[in-house]
Amino acid sequence: MKDFIIPNWDETDMGTPASKATEQVTLTIDGFPVTVPAGTSVMRASAEAGIQVPKLCATDSLEAFGSCRLCVVEIEGRRGTPASCTTPVAEGMVVHTHSPKVKKIRKGVMELYISDHPLDCLTCSANGDCELQDMAGAVGLRDVRYEGVENHFEVRQNGEANARYIPKDDSNPYFSYDPAKCIVCSRCVRACEETQGTFALTIEGSGFDSRVSFGAKSDNALASDCVSCGACVAACPTATLQEKSVIEIGTPERSVITTCAYCGVGCSFKAEMRGDEVVRMTPWKHGKANRGHSCVKGRFAYGYASHNDRILNPMIRDTIDQPWREVSWDEAIAFTATKLRGIQEQHGVRSIGGITSSRCTNEETYLVQKLIRAVFGNNNTDTCARVCHSPTGYGLGKAFGTSAGTQDFDSVEHTDVVIVIGANPTDGHPVFASRLKKRLRAGAKLIVIDPRRIDLVRSAHIEAAHHLPLRPGTNVAVLSSISHVIVTEGLYDEAFIRERCDWDEFADYAAFISDARHSPEATALLTGVPADAIREAARLFATGGNGAIYYGLGVTEHSQGSTTVMAIANLAMMTGNLGRPGVGVNPLRGQNNVQGACDMGSFPHELPGYRHVSDPAVRDVFDKLWGSKIDPEPGLRIPNMLDAAVDGTFKGLYVQGEDILQSDPDTKHVSAGLAAMDCVIVQDLFLNETANYAHVFLPGSTFLEKDGTFTNAERRINRVRKVMQPRNGYADWEITQLLANAMGAGWTYTHPSQVMDEIAATTPSFANVSYELLEERGSVQWPCNEAAPDGTPLMHIDGFARGRGRFIVTEYIATEEKTGPRFPLLLTTGRILSQYNVGAQTRRTENVVWHDQDVLEVHPQDAEVRGIKDGQWVRLASRTGETSLRATITDRVSPGVVYTTFHHPDTQANVITTDFSDWATNCPEYKVTAVQVAASNGPTEWQEDYAAHAAQSRRILPAAE
Amino acid sequence: MTTPSHIGTEEKLVRMANQIAGFFATQPKASQAEETAAHIRAFWDPRMRAQLSKLLATDANGLSPLARAAAEHLEQSEQV
Ligand code: SF4
Ligand code: SF4
Ligand code: SF4
Ligand code: FES
């Protein structure tokens, strides 16, 4: 079946990581000549030659450790039997992997291991998936001579409790730790250190007494530092660390390569299946974004797909105070089409619009904007990228000529100095964070610019060289000060600027930035960052080697979001940090397909490929293919749609896979806008908050139920593959097609690959992209066309997309949202590891054990003057509204700053946020709100009303006979 | 409760126009009004531009001098 093809990538465990050396070495193994890069282990060289040396403590995702001695070999001219995993190859070496001597040693080693291991293979959850079992077979172990000796696995021994026995730890919701089965190979410990970088596991004790432990002896897995990334579980050769789903369901029988649907890292996974049930999701070692690693969300939090709350039948209602009525797909689609056309007849062509989803596939997003442009006949399309990375598009577009990150994730391996600004990678982009931390442990320097002391500032074996804890809203001032230091101290890269940018333009910029008002001494009062810290950070970045800048929503979600992006571009250009590995400007995208949603023409002024709708030549390309007449006028952006709705000129909205009521700022304004519309259509998995105001609910499908592509933060187009039939009946792209056809479109797509072909035919940066190419390559980074047939891992190598890079003057302009006597504190918002965005999916998984409610972080000083205690309910009020949540007292935030997440609808942090927005793109200013905090007794009246209203609007009538 | 963030669409348009003008006012070029107008032309839907144009007729509209100049420029260019 076409859908189930897995690219033919070799999954063999080569034992040790590949060597990056270029020099080649030839040796002989069991009589076969083998040529491998210098530095390769004898074990890996053997594997290259097709010879599997038995092994237990080695695996190719980790550095060799050499503890089990199962992999011993004989090497001519050398004494003894060295471990092949820790012995590097040498020119002319002659190796014997299967001599009588090593065979005997291996049998002995296995016998010892097995004597301390229960012989319950038949009923063991790892039966058929256990390396200990495999190795016992491989070395020909037939009997074990040590019976009745001391062991770790028997609960009782000689009639007494066995003091060595440790019971199973089931505290983690997703995997169990059964010490009785542990062979102490330390693969888990090394995975936690090397791959994940959390250092949650240690080996305690020594010799026969050594045991794996989650930190302090009393700790269990859940209470430890463990972040549940699953790296140790994947590395464990036995059933000791095992997914609970495997224990429950059994071992998988097939697997399909697909892409995580959570964050913008875009990790590749193997969906391991039994029938149409997912047994487990394991990170795919050939995935180029994640290189075999994962985080708790993609690895474990997929249970929402089969959650009871999922709506599987379409529903309609005439008014939003009525209960929902379940209807057939035909009736729902006809009802919707009639309503939308009716609105257009009465209020004009431009009175309806739609919102594409950053969670859906590129193909689905492309079809939604096509529906709006070709069938609705206007450009009222927008996407939730509006509320996160629209300033990236604008800012980088102006500076470089393309609206995307410049590097691939591999680039971080070549970085010497990293600036992380307004991003919290360990929580928001965990797999990238692990790769970054690995580089930092290897010696790269880190500068963190963030109001909050994020985990990266100080965690196991990581310490930032500088943390600049700026006041929320002063990004431009801080970045300008850094540039001021670089320019006035002459630390800029003149050769790069002369070659790649316009020197006169730089001279203008230099004159601007050299002014004393940008000096760190002048801005310190404003930003709260000591001048010395800025000077040192600037010098480090300019002179420390390859410098890379990674940023997130703490940059974009400000009234000067676009200006900050330009300031970042300036900084990268003046230090010559573009166009090679280890450098660059790297926006960390929030949702899985934010990049794709932007690429696919979701914005009201841009057709796919970032081309303005006013360009007749571009419109013509689409009009010819679509038989349409695209409106040359830009359409409404989300906040404009809501304003127009309140004004009565915008009446109908098709929302695919977004929850604007919860995710957009100023909840009351959003609900007023939605309530003013005649037809709101929500297509989603669950009755989300927006659906409280909807007239039509079209049940959506999950990423497991459809084919398509996601584009991650490195512009990497990854395949999403269908592993089961849509439980709701249709993939999302099919639903959009049904609606389009009910409105007279006559579309005939039968597979998303045809949509990709249409994208390639119309969009130059995708010209060579096809499903065939993706099958062959696994993934590809756009631009992928005649000029770059293999795609483009690094952008701007020889020149910028726009020709010369442009320095843009970035003057700091304070936001209008200001603190005062009534609202003396600044609220800033963010996210945490276990939850995702509005939480609709993660709240419906076991991930809630890590975060069951949003809490407000308050500095001890601010708490003390207000008499607030840790864990107490507090009232959080801004000029816009108020809500209540529990406080947690911490010095992670500076005095004067409070912080919360927005994962739970009960908290509705966005009741507080204002509708101030980025000057260029209207990206809302989530990151700065003036607030007051006071002790309180519990939820506010508004929260209770809201909960009651939500319950009311979610009533569903029993299906009619 | 009227608060700075709960304002009508017109006031919001004024705020947005002033913000855009605020950025272009910092740019060295002599073409600040044109650039501001071009930005609005590129990103605002026709009904928003029409509202802005209507606002020009009122005196106390709150537009900054540059935003005003841009709106006038825009009005002229849309008429041709
Ligand atoms: S799940 Fe991840 S963080 Fe937890 S112990 Fe295993 S490797 Fe470490
Ligand atoms: S838990 Fe697994 S990986 Fe860790 S030491 Fe024991 S057997 Fe090895
Ligand atoms: S949420 Fe992000 S980091 Fe985690 S597995 Fe998915 S793509 Fe990877
Ligand atoms: S695999 Fe080489 S010593 Fe364990």
| Residue A897 domain flag | yes
Claim to verify: residue A620 and residue A759 sit in the same structural domain? yes
Q: How far is the CA of A68 from the centre of ligand 4 (A)?
A: 5
- Which among A753, A772, A791 is the end of a domain? A772
Asked if A669 reaches chain B (Cβ–Cβ under 8 Å), the answer is: yes
| CATH number of the domain that residue A652 is part of | 3.40.50.740
* Nearest CB to A605 within list B3, B19, B43: B43
Secondary structure of residue A5 in the 3-state scheme: coil
| B21 band by pLDDT with thresholds 50, 70 and 90 | confident
Asked if B6 reaches chain A (Cβ–Cβ under 8 Å), the answer is: yes
Claim to verify: residue A459 and residue A532 sit in the same structural domain? yes
Among the bound ligands, name the one nearest to the CA of residue A237: 2
The DSSP 8-state label assigned to residue A415 in this structure reads: -
pLDDT at A833 over 70: no
pLDDT at B61 over 90: no
CB contact under 8 A, A809 and B43: no
Claim to verify: residue A156 and residue A119 sit in the same structural domain? no
A166-183: average pLDDT:
90
Substitution target in B2, B3, B5 with the highest count of A β-carbons within 10 Å is: B5
Claim to verify: residue A562 and residue A524 sit in the same structural domain? yes
Q: Which residues of A touch B4 (CB under 8 A)?
A: 816, 879, 914
Claim to verify: residue A85 and residue A119 sit in the same structural domain? yes
The one-letter amino acid code at A949 reads: H
| CATH number of the domain that residue A484 is part of | 3.40.228.10
Average per-residue pLDDT for chain A: 88
**Considering its fold, how many domains does chain A have in total?**
5
| A4 band by pLDDT with thresholds 50, 70 and 90 | very low
Nearest CA to ligand 1 atom 4: A226
pLDDT at A939 over 90: no
Claim to verify: residue A661 and residue A720 sit in the same structural domain? yes
| Residue A316 domain flag | no
Substitution target in B16, B18, B45 with the highest count of A β-carbons within 10 Å is: B45
The DSSP-derived string for A512-561 is HHHSGGGSHHHHHHHH---HHHHHHHHHHHHHSSSEEEEE-HHHHSSTTH
Claim to verify: residue A44 and residue A115 sit in the same structural domain? yes
CB contact under 8 A, A512 and B39: no
Claim to verify: residue A346 and residue A433 sit in the same structural domain? no
Q: Give domain limits for chain B.
A: 9-79
pLDDT tens-digit profile of A206-220? Answer: 888 888 888 875 578
pLDDT at A961 over 70: no
Q: Which of A499-513, A745-759, A811-825 has the lowest mean pLDDT?
A: A811-825
* Nearest CB to B45 within list A636, A914, A920: A636
pLDDT tens-digit profile of A469-496? Answer: 988 888 899 999 999 999 999 999 999 9
Residues A391 and A381: their CA atoms lie apart, in Å, by 17
pLDDT tens-digit profile of A837-857? Answer: 556 677 777 777 776 778 899
Claim to verify: residue A158 and residue A293 sit in the same structural domain? yes
Select the more confidently predicted residue: A11 or A481.
A481
Q: What angle do CA A871, A877, A883 make, to 5 degrees?
A: 60
Claim to verify: residue A210 and residue A99 sit in the same structural domain? no
Residues 6 or more apart whose CB falls under 8 angstroms from that of A194 comprise: A62, A63, A438
pLDDT at A319 over 60: yes
Nearest atom within ligand 3 for CA of residue A263: 2
Residues A52 and A15: their CA atoms lie apart, in Å, by 9
Range picked from A586-590, A667-671, A886-890 for highest mean pLDDT: A886-890
pLDDT at A605 over 80: yes
pLDDT at A352 over 90: yes
CB contact under 8 A, A649 and B47: yes
Measured between CA atoms, the residue of chain B closest to residue A925 is B5
- Bridge partner list, A917: A924
pLDDT of residue A908: 66
Residues 6 or more apart whose CB falls under 8 angstroms from that of B79 comprise: none
Residues A958 and A938: their CA atoms lie apart, in Å, by 35
pLDDT tens-digit profile of A51-60? Answer: 999 999 999 9
| Residue A231 domain flag | yes
A705-714: average pLDDT:
92
pLDDT tens-digit profile of A176-185? Answer: 999 989 999 9
Claim to verify: residue A372 and residue A434 sit in the same structural domain? no
Q: Which residues of A touch B27 (CB under 8 A)?
A: 808-809
Claim to verify: residue A268 and residue A347 sit in the same structural domain? no
pLDDT at B3 over 60: no
pLDDT of residue A456: 87
Q: What angle do CA A657, A730, A636 make, to 5 degrees?
A: 35
* Nearest CB to A813 within list B9, B22, B47: B22
* Nearest CB to A647 within list B3, B9, B28: B9
Asked if B5 reaches chain A (Cβ–Cβ under 8 Å), the answer is: yes
CB contact under 8 A, A559 and B19: yes
What interface predicted TM-score (ipTM) does this complex get?
0.86
pLDDT at A389 over 80: no
| B72 band by pLDDT with thresholds 50, 70 and 90 | confident
Read off the pTM: 0.89
Which domain, by its residues, includes A62?
24-123
Residue A17, exposed/middle/buried by CB under 10 A (0-12, 13-18, 19+)?
middle
Nearest atom within ligand 4 for CA of residue A84: 2
Ligand 2 pocket member A130 (CB < 6 A): no
Q: What angle do CA A141, A144, A149 make, to 5 degrees?
A: 150
| B1 band by pLDDT with thresholds 50, 70 and 90 | very low
Polymer length in residues for chain B: 80
Nearest atom within ligand 1 for CA of residue A195: 7
| A832 band by pLDDT with thresholds 50, 70 and 90 | low
| Residue A747 domain flag | yes
| B57 band by pLDDT with thresholds 50, 70 and 90 | confident
**Which residue ranges have their beta carbon within 6 Å of ligand 3?**
A 260, 262-263, 265-267, 290, 294-295, 297-298, 430-431
Distances in Å between the alpha carbon of A327 and those of A53, A311, A332, A700?
61, 12, 6, 15
pLDDT tens-digit profile of A233-283? Answer: 999 999 999 999 999 999 899 899 999 988 889 999 999 999 888 999 999
pLDDT of residue A730: 93
| CATH number of the domain that residue A77 is part of | 3.10.20.740
Most ligand 2 atoms within 8 A of CB, residue of A188, A201, A210, A214 to mutate: A188
| A89 band by pLDDT with thresholds 50, 70 and 90 | very high
pLDDT of residue A907: 67
Most ligand 3 atoms within 8 A of CB, residue of A258, A265, A358 to mutate: A265
| Residue A945 domain flag | yes
pLDDT at A402 over 70: yes
| Residue A814 domain flag | no
Q: Burial code of A508-525, b = ≥16 C-beta within 10 A, e = fewer?
A: bbbebbeeeebbbebbbe
CB contact under 8 A, B28 and A809: yes
CB contact under 8 A, B42 and A633: no
